[in-house]
Amino acid sequence: MREPLRAMVRETALAVDDLIYPMFVVPGKKVRNEVRSMPGVFQLSMDELLNECELVKKLGIPAVILFGIPEHKDEVGSGAYDPHGIIQESVRLLKKEIPELVVITDVCLCEYTSHGHCGIVKGDDILNDESVALLVKEAVTHAEAGADIVAPSDMFDGRIKAIRAGLDANGFIHTPIMSYAAKYASGFYGPFRDAAESAPQFGDRRSHQMDPANSEEAMREVELDILEGADVVMVKPALPYLDIIRRVKDTFRMPTAAYNVSGEYAMIKAAGRNGWIDETRVMMETLLSIKRAGADMILTYHAMEAAKLLNA
């Protein structure tokens, strides 16, 4: 009788429809490269992406977020806003074949620039406004391809307002923006940069991503993004910033997303493989804690595994 009683007084329940699965698309055919630092996560060519998304759909996961690695990188990240770029074509394919799957696109330049920065670089600086103009072009081409939600991840100033205006001017008045609103300059993104091949070739992202010591600043960043037109606000990473998720949710009462990032995933996988923790148990405890902190949706590389358990 103990377990049924516990279930009756349990406060938080994780559900499959809380999950968003991040995926990496690369050029080519029949490509499935496992990411060295992220066991179980693959760089996929478009055909393989489609197969994998069929599984995502079958498991009941409502949404994926796509990251693209282009054929060629250049100084200005042209691949990011090419109307026939890798993400634009992937979105077209997925929306044609699996229309019910929500397709979110990450809007950023770092995967597309030769220097790995999220914008246009001049000397030691990133040019904010010039970069934002390119992000607008990128977001509009994603919407034209059929993206259901665009998710700017750069953290430049004024980008939500500009992207909202750009989408509206092109007729995409119903395309919501999921803003990476409180994004910290974090060591936990290391494995992602293997997956997306987007490590900065010099310097770091501390000019625009947030100082891990700051909580008040997170509130200002989130507030600005809401005022500029964000429909969903995201806190990233998740586990080291559960306090921020809670504050954001309590203060703004907005649809709130949390990104359980690559380094969080890699740590669980590594410890699990060493037999140092019960991997499945720690994974579910982690996801539940993010939900308990106030997240309405969780971007996580554990999505497929967690969905299998939740469905069982």
Could you give the residue numbers annotated as active site?
183, 236
Q: How far apart are CA 11 and CA 9, in angstroms?
A: 6
CB of 183 to ligand PBG, least distance (A): 7
Q: Does the protein bind ligand PBG through residue 112 (CB under 6 A)?
A: no
Q: For residues 142-171, which are near ligand PBG according to CB under 6 A?
A: 153
DSSP-derived secondary structure letter, 187? G
CB of 295 to ligand PBG, least distance (A): 15
Q: At what angle do helices 279-292 and 242-252 cross, to 10 degrees?
A: 30
Q: What are phi and psi of 114, to 5 degrees?
A: -65, -30
Of the two residues 2 and 115, which places its CB atom closer to ligand PBG in the complex?
A: 115
Q: Which helix (H) or strand (E) holds 5?
A: helix 2-9
Q: How far apart are CA 213 and CA 65, in angstroms?
A: 28
Q: Does the protein bind ligand PBG through residue 287 (CB under 6 A)?
A: no
Alpha carbon 56 to chain centroid, angstroms: 16
Q: Does the protein bind ligand PBG through residue 261 (CB under 6 A)?
A: yes
3-class secondary structure, 297: strand
Q: Does the protein bind ligand PBG through residue 178 (CB under 6 A)?
A: no
Q: What torsion, rounded to 10 degrees, do the Cα atoms 263, 230, 155, 63 define?
A: 30
CB of 246 to ligand PBG, least distance (A): 21
Q: Does the protein bind ligand PBG through residue 192 (CB under 6 A)?
A: yes
**Candidate list 21, 24, 112, 189; residue touching ligand PBG; CB under 6 A:** 189
Of the two residues 73 and 205, which places its CB atom closer to ligand PBG in the complex?
A: 205
Both structure tokens of 270: 């590594």
Residue range at the interface with ligand PBG (CB under 6 A); choices 51-59, 74-82, 106-114, 127-135: 106-114
Computed on alpha carbons and rounded to an integer, the radius of gyration of the chain in Å comes to 19
Q: At what angle do helices 242-252 and 216-228 cross, to 10 degrees?
A: 50
Residue range at the interface with ligand PBG (CB under 6 A); choices 23-31, 189-197, 220-228, 280-288: 189-197
CB of 234 to ligand PBG, least distance (A): 10
Which residues form the interface with ligand PBG (CB under 6 A)? Answer: 106, 108, 110, 153, 189, 192-193, 205, 261-262
